[in-house]
Structure 1
Amino acid sequence: MTNLRLLEQFRSFYFKNYPDDMETQISYFAVFGGLDWDIDTTKSLKELIHTLVLENFDELYEKVQELTLGDKSYKRLLRALAVGDRKIFSAFNRAGLNNGNGGAALNYLQEKGLIEMEYSREVHPRQESPKAKLKRADAKHRISHKVFFTYPFIRFWFYFISPNFKAIQEGDFEKVLEDFELRHNSYTSLVYEELSELLLNYNLRDAHIISSGSYWDANVEIDILTVTENQRIYVGECKWTNHKINKKELHKINDKCQRLNIVPTQIVLFSKRGFSKELEAMAGVNLALYSSEDFKALVKSNPKGSNPKMLFS
């Protein structure tokens, strides 16, 4: 499901801070999105995290405590969702929660507006073959929905800050900054994926989209699967890495489509740093390529009256 709240935050961040380019916009938004702060995007992310977050840790910690009521199960679940695959059951396991207390924590975090559900589109083998005798693994398989964070900063907090709580309290910032340096590309990938879906659906705005979001089942995961009313299928993959995407990624996504028995109307690839010349030569009706600067389409205008709800406001 397209996250329109994220789009409002993305636009708000842009028109408040005016970063020089879209790669910077996406990188900095992935950390500070959802905060109504002035962000100097000419400074490095590490410097900003140091001065705006770590040096104000006590104040921010109290605000996070208010949002979570200081409840350990709520915070463990947020941590598990931030670093894991976003699937509810695996997050419960990672957080040491069961369906009872995990479900209660999930409900509270939803009601508080910190997370939203992304419902699976997988069809259980039992539904496909009601009378057939299923393999043991298929019979026991549980379809798990996923969760995405309403505010990028909350995910950043529980991805990088919360695990380093003791060191930060003692004034030792090196570990969290080193951790961020090592993993910030991997961390940003999820926000990039969500923004990529927004861009794709923006470009399909004249079509009637009936289903959109990531797709996952027991065997296959696809970053974006969008279906329109006239049964046009758009399959997308997103790569937030420091190298260009080459033809191998196209082979991988074609393989996934074959395993799902779908014939895409168009394959759509999103890349932080662009594409190989071979792949660029293949772009056309069946293959669309988007790099960072194409996300300017999402901030062409600042809608009048747009006032997205922000954290800590």
Structure 2
Amino acid sequence: MFGGSDIKIDVKKPVYELIVEHILTNYNFLHKQVSHHVDVEYSAVLTGLALGDGRIHSAFKRARISDENAGEIAKKLMDTNIVRLLKSRKQFTSWVDDERVSDKLLFTTPFMRFWFAFVAPIFKGIKEGNYDEFNQRYENKIAEFREAVFKELSNELVKISFAEEKVVETGAYWDREVELDIFAKTASKKVIVGTCRYTNSKLKKSEIAKLEELANRAKIKADVFVIVAKRGFSSELKSLKSEDIRLFTLKSFKSLL
């Protein structure tokens, strides 16, 4: 939530306490800083990107901006360095079709994403020191916010976890029907597909079948399946762990440090 800002925080304090202390009570100051980087007329678009999956078409549609103007506005936002363009790894698959797949815009810093997800849309109450609406929004959507960061870190984890193969391409795959959190290729041409589950329950054996089905629907021939789970796996799923089925939990993220 504070990544990319110059806010100094005490990581031993509860996250919500830090948000109130450094963000909500300093709304006016932070608002001026953010306004230097982005025109307020784009706030609705940025909120759509912050709370959605980042697809340009759907975010602009929610903001009621026509496709004719979407490209120009997307370029302006990228020029401010608040967001960056992400294309589907579909371009690296072995098949091509005529369907256009919407690109995504991802925030370059977690702080800006947090601001437009939780602060900018309900600024009036926050400005007046009333945090009731913020609290409700935070409670309802914080898991979704964290999940997106979890997926990005999972892709970084894949990069360093296949050192013997050397991952040369990684990212998310999506088309009009299928979305894969992880789609990577190694120098030896192996294809890795994976899913990230930010859930409080252990994942079962059926997750492998679901992942295989998604790969088949996307016409991707996968060599390795990866599952990253917040709370780990059932005994049945653990028993399937092999060179072709890799399982990672939160403990695995220590290697990123």
TM over 0.5: yes
Alignment of 1:1-313 (within 5 A): 31-68=1-38, 70-72=39-41, 74-122=42-90, 128=96, 141-299=99-257
Amino acid at match of 1:66: H
Structure 1: stretches of 5+ with no match in the other structure = 1-30, 130-138, 300-313
Structure 2: stretches of 5+ with no match in the other structure = none
CA–CA separation in structure 2 for the residues paired with 1:242 and 1:96: 35
Amino acid at match of 1:52: H
Instruction: State the Cα deviation string for residues 233-282 of structure 1 (Å, max 9, x = none).
Output: 11111111222222222221111122123332211111112111221121
Shift of the 213–163 alpha-carbon distance from structure 1 to 2, 3 Å rule, reads same
CA–CA separation in structure 2 for the residues paired with 1:147 and 1:251: 30
Determine if contact 2:227/2:246 at 8 Å carries over to the other structure.
Answer: yes
Equivalent pairs: percent with the same residue?
34
Which residue number corresponds to residue 7 of structure 1?
Answer: none
1:46 shift after superposition: 1.4
Partner SS, residue 235 of structure 1: strand
1:172 shift after superposition: 0.8
1:217 shift after superposition: 0.7
CA–CA separation in structure 2 for the residues paired with 1:238 and 1:278: 18
Determine if contact 1:77/1:102 at 8 Å carries over to the other structure.
Answer: no
Instruction: State the Cα deviation string for residues 63-103 of structure 1 (Å, max 9, x = none).
Output: 111110x331x222211111122111111111121234322
Q: Which has the higher contact order (CA 8 A, sep 6+)?
A: 1
Partner SS, residue 76 of structure 1: helix
Determine if contact 2:87/2:104 at 8 Å carries over to the other structure.
Answer: yes
Judging by fraction of residues, say which structure has more helix: 1
CA–CA separation in structure 2 for the residues paired with 1:150 and 1:180: 21
Give me the TM-score of the superposition, normalised by structure 2: 0.91
Amino acid at match of 1:294: S
Determine if contact 1:34/1:153 at 8 Å carries over to the other structure.
Answer: yes
Partner SS, residue 231 of structure 2: coil
Determine if contact 1:224/1:236 at 8 Å carries over to the other structure.
Answer: yes
CA–CA separation in structure 1 for the residues paired with 2:20 and 2:86: 33
Which residue number corresponds to residue 132 of structure 1?
Answer: none
1:196 shift after superposition: 0.4
Deviating beyond 4 angstroms after TM superposition, the runs of 4 or more aligned structure 1 residues are none
Give me the TM-score of the superposition, normalised by structure 1: 0.76
CA–CA separation in structure 1 for the residues paired with 2:206 and 2:9: 37
Partner SS, residue 33 of structure 1: coil
Shift of the 151–250 alpha-carbon distance from structure 1 to 2, 3 Å rule, reads same
Amino acid at match of 2:58: S
